Amino acid sequence: MKSTIQVHDKHFEVFIEQSVLEKRIAALASSINQDYTGKKPLFLAILNGSFMFAAELMKSITVSCEITFLRVSSYQATTSTGKVHQILGLSESIENRDIIIIEDIIDTGLTMIEIKKQLLAQNPSSLTIATLFQKPEALKQPIDIEYIGFEIENKFVLGYGLDYDGLGRNLADLYVLSE
């Protein structure tokens, strides 16, 4: 039987070990290095979830680059439009820059579609997405994602930056909810 950990009221088991995560992240960085040779991209890491992925990825980026950090606040609108996402913390101009968004996980994709729309309105030269995890079955609208670490099944995961109600971001492996 796999050993489990308890976070709040739920039990989780190791799903992807740190060494596997790190190896894949280095491969993503190497693709980015190839694709951005001669360019000077600006990475936008989405907090809080992407902090660990962003740190690991950046250690293997060899092209000249900048990184900055954003937050996306989401709240339920009073109208029927559903969730409204607002980008907070972007003080740099992204006009005519090559932008790479760093995200922890793309689930329904709705957050990323909204972020992309708002950033494209500021006229970057290019805009690509690097996400550590994606749940293909959960995607609600098609979205181009250039760099995907792992396609995972549609189950709740935590660790490696991802939380369950505030806890678990510090875990070095990725965990999945135990059945």
Question: Which active-site residues does the annotation give?
Answer: 107
* Cβ-proximal residues to 157 (8 Å cutoff; 6+ apart), any chain: 15, 105, 133, 174, 175, 176, 177
Q: Using CB under 6 A, which of the segments 9-17, 30-38, 89-97, 104-112 binds ligand XMP?
A: 104-112
Q: Is 13 one of the binding residues for ligand XMP (CB under 6 A)?
A: no
Residues between 106 and 145 with contacts to Mg ion, criterion CB under 5 A = none
Q: Mask of contacts with Mg ion, 12-51, x by CB under 5 A?
A: -------------------------------------x--
Of 4 and 33, nearer to ligand XMP (C-beta) is 4
Instruction: Work out which of 29, 32, 52, 157 binds ligand XMP, going by CB under 6 A.
Output: 157
Would you tell me which residues interact with ligand XMP (CB under 6 A)?
49, 104-112, 156-158, 162-163
Would you tell me which residues interact with Mg ion (CB under 5 A)?
49, 104
